[in-house]
């Protein structure tokens, strides 16, 4: 149990860093807009670059985790975070920042296949996926709050640098304490045949990812426009988004418990579909009512992840989980990255609040796929 505890702690640190570093960007969009004199469309392109490369990093990570083990991949991941944080700290132009964010996305993409494979060997897998998900939600919640306040105090570059220091500590802990359960493949597996349930689950996740990234990358900007407070714009956007994401932690825990107590294939349909009415409603709200309803949506939205990851574990052999989680993360983030461009254009042509109901277009087919999955399993 002690080794399980060590592994969960280290993977939780890794998961926290993925999402906290990725979520600095939405919180500082209002600063980058002024510093680099760019449009909402260009800001959306930054979001797309970061998430797209996050997706691309997942493909090789899954293959390498199955062949060489999660520990090696996680070592590269933590090291890459340190390097990317230094690059961003010394960035002096929009294009340098874009390169740094792309590299940050690439190395954060290494985490999920390796980390999820490690956690998937735990007993009561949905519960531990829920705990693991909580660390990611903490990162998501604190990322925009920390990024906003640090950017307001010491500048956005320092926000990345300090988390790079935490990544260095994570690397040291990994080298000292992490041991890997499960088996490794005898050779590099470059060919893999996905089953029908795996394809459906990955398809649902890709569509959900579009709505998820459309919501959380533009929600800070929407708060800046719709909620009146005495704080500065960057503090408003980051802090209120952080509040919504804190409620996502509750959603992670609820999703984990529901996945252990009820049939996951049934819960899967509901956790996708419940997002739809809330995405429509928030487009018509402002002020603190908007914050409250967005908070409920945050909890509902994050119920998805432990159910999704547990379902993939259910339909995948132990020594193939790295490549399957890698492919799932890669496809989800790569397709989800399009939300940056789509949302940027919608917000620029119409208004920022039109972005959220537009995301429903992707969730409706996701619900139908989840229903097909129920009949398949």
* pLDDT at position 190: 58
- Tens-digit pLDDT profile for the chain (377 aa)? 477 777 788 888 999 999 999 999 988 988 998 899 988 889 989 999 999 998 888 778 878 887 888 889 999 999 999 999 999 999 999 999 999 999 999 999 899 888 888 877 666 666 677 777 778 878 888 898 999 899 988 999 999 999 999 999 999 989 988 777 655 555 555 567 789 999 999 999 999 999 999 999 899 889 988 888 777 777 887 889 889 988 988 888 888 788 778 888 999 999 999 999 999 999 999 999 999 999 999 999 999 988 998 899 889 887 777 788 878 888 998 899 999 999 989 998 999 999 999 999 999 999 999 999 999 98
The CA distance from 89 to 152, in Å, is: 15
* pLDDT at position 188: 56
Read out DSSP for 316-367? S-GGGHHHHHHHHHHHHHHHHTHHHHHHHHHHHHS-GGGHHHHTHHHHHHHH
The CA distance from 274 to 108, in Å, is: 29
CATH 3.30.70.20 is held by the domain 2-178+190-376: no
- How many alpha carbons lie under 13 Å from residue 232 in its C-beta half-sphere? 13
Read out DSSP for 59-97? HHHHHHHHHH-HHHHHHHHHHHHHHHHHHHHT--SHHHH
Boundaries of every domain in the chain: 2-178+190-376
* pLDDT at position 1: 47
* pLDDT at position 125: 66
Whether this prediction's pTM lies above 0.85 is answered by no
The CA distance from 145 to 236, in Å, is: 9
Is the distance from CB of 372 to CB of 274 less than 8 angstroms? no
């Amino acid at each position: 149990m002690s080794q399980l505890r060590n592994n969960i702690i280290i993977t939780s640190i890794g998961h926290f860093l993925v999402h906290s570093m990725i979520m600095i960007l939405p919180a500082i969009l209002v600063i980058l807009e002024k510093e680099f004199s760019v449009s909402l469309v260009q800001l959306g392109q930054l979001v797309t670059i970061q998430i797209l490369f996050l997706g691309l990093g997942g493909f090789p990570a899954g293959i390498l985790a199955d062949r060489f083990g999660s520990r090696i991949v996680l070592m590269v991941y933590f090291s890459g975070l340190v390097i990317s944080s230094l690059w961003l700290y010394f960035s002096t132009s929009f294009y340098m920042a874009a390169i740094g964010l792309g590299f940050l996305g690439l190395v954060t993409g290494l985490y999920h296949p390796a980390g999820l494979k490690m956690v998937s060997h735990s007993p009561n897998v949905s519960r531990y996926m829920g705990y693991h998900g909580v660390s990611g939600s903490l990162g998501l919640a604190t990322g925009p709050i920390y990024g906003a306040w640090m950017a307001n105090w010491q500048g956005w570059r320092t926000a990345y640098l300090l988390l790079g220091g935490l990544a260095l500590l994570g690397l040291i802990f990994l080298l000292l304490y992490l041991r890997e359960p499960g088996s490794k493949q005898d050779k590099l597996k470059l060919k893999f045949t996905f089953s029908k349930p795996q394809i459906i689950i990955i398809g649902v996740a890709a569509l959900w990812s579009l709505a998820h990234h459309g919501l959380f990358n533009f929600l800070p900007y929407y708060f800046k426009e719709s909620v009146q407070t005495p704080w500065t714009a960057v503090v408003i956007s980051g802090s209120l988004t952080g509040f919504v994401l804190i409620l996502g932690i509750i959603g992670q825990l609820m999703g984990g418990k529901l996945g252990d107590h009820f049939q996951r294939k049934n819960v899967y349909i509901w956790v996708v579909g419940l997002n739809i009415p809330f995405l429509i409603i928030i487009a018509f709200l402002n002020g603190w009512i908007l914050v409250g309803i967005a908070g409920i949506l945050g909890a509902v939205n994050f119920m998805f992840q432990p159910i999704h990851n547990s379902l993939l574990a259910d339909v995948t052999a132990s020594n193939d989980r790295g490549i399957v989680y890698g492919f799932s993360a890669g496809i989800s983030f790569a397709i989800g990255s399009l939300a940056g461009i789509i949302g940027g254009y919608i917000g620029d042509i119409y208004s920022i609040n039109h972005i959220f109901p537009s995301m429903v277009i992707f969730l409706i087919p996701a619900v139908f796929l989840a229903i097909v999955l129920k009949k398949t399993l």
